[in-house]
């Protein structure tokens, strides 16, 4: 399963675009909240998680996704269950993806050392040891996928689909949603 972590203050469009497009690609996606309660995103949109993050066992996680937004990113960074899950998925060599401010979580945990990465402008100092790619929308470096922000949420989601199901599957979804690229 793909786990998308939701915290109070998560950027709704970044998180829900991932959930929507990966489900369109017939992938099992779970919205995992820091609590079992309804979560208010950064713009006040309320989201009911499928489960609590502490209910997720890392061996069942095919990919972990960390959406951005404030204070969502700092809430994810401070949560011990997110830290445990992130560490276990990362160390198992499975994909970990972060968008907007959330790559700072990967940077502060030193998972980006000698890796190419991108983040929301102004958060680059948090990407400890990364080779920052400011002009990119999405960077895939091994099993780490990072993206710039809300405006790149579709590109980010398509990159996740490509990572999990291949280029043809991502192209199929791109066409289904009428997403035109340069």
Q: Which residues are catalytic?
A: 100
**Contact present, 69 and 39 (Cβ < 8 Å):** no
With residues binned 3-state (H G I as helix, E B as strand, rest as coil), the percentages for the chain, rounded to 5, are 40, 20, 40
Strands 144-147 and 138-141, sheet pairing: antiparallel
Strand ranges (E), 7-164: 29-33, 39-40, 46-47, 51-52, 63-66, 96-99, 116-117, 131-132, 138-141, 144-147
Query: How far is the C-alpha of 86 from the C-alpha of 64, rounded, in Å?
Result: 7
Indicate the SS3 state at residue 164. Answer: helix
Going by the DSSP 8-state scheme, the letter that residue 126 receives in this structure is: G
């Amino acid at each position: 399963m793909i786990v998308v972590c939701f915290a109070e203050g998560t950027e709704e469009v970044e998180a829900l675009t991932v959930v929507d497009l990966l489900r369109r690609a017939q992938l099992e996606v779970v919205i995992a909240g820091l609590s079992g309660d309804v979560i208010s995103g950064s713009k006040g949109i309320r989201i009911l998680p499928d489960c609590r993050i502490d209910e997720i066992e890392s061996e069942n996680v095919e990919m972990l996704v960390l959406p951005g937004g404030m204070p969502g990113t700092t809430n994810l960074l401070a949560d011990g269950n997110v830290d445990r899950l992130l560490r276990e998925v990362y160390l198992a060599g499975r994909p970990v993806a972060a968008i907007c401010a959330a790559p700072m979580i990967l940077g502060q945990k030193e998972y980006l050392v000698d890796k190419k990465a991108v983040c929301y402008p102004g958060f680059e100092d948090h990407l400890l040891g990364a080779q920052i790619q400011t002009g990119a929308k999405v960077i895939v470096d091994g099993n780490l996928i990072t993206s710039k922000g809300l405006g790149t949420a579709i590109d980010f989601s398509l990159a996740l689909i490509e990572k999990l199901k291949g280029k043809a599957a991502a192209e199929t979804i791109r066409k289904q949603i009428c997403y035109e690229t340069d």
